[in-house]
């Protein structure tokens, strides 16, 4: 099977933009939405990280997705959403056991 060649520059740029989006969201979790010390950093991250991420995803867009959108969506659901549901179901079922074994403390 011939795998398409990856472009290391795009992989790096996409990774940096993903990390920047996560950083931006983690700085915005305060009850006042922004701490005064982080406003400039969040504004700077807003200038480029989301734009770069969408630009790179658009550049790497495959026409196969447009030709069979339902097949593509079903494929994404199977590969991303089902493992997510399994993981959450596991922790939902064993939540009390994990608290009793001190794996995590639960809500205070």
**pLDDT at residue number 63:** 78
Average pLDDT across the chain, whole number: 78
Alpha helices in 28-81 (DSSP H): 39-59, 63-67, 69-76
Cα 29 to Cα 11: distance, rounded to the nearest angstrom: 28
**pLDDT at residue number 85:** 92
Average pLDDT, stretch 7-25? Answer: 86
Please write the tens of the pLDDT for every residue from 19-60: 988 887 777 765 555 555 667 777 777 788 888 888 888 888
Cα 80 to Cα 64: distance, rounded to the nearest angstrom: 19
Cα 82 to Cα 71: distance, rounded to the nearest angstrom: 16
């Amino acid at each position: 099977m011939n795998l398409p060649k990856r472009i290391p520059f795009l992989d790096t740029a996409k990774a940096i933009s993903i990390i920047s989006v996560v950083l931006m969201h983690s700085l915005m979790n305060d009850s006042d939405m922004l701490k005064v010390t982080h406003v400039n950093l969040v504004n700077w991250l807003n200038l480029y990280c989301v734009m770069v991420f969408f630009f790179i995803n658009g550049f790497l867009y495959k026409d196969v997705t447009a030709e069979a959108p339902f097949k593509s969506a079903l494929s994404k659901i199977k590969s991303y959403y089902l493992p997510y549901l399994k993981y959450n179901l596991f922790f939902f079922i064993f939540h009390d056991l994990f608290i009793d074994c001190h794996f995590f403390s639960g809500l205070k």
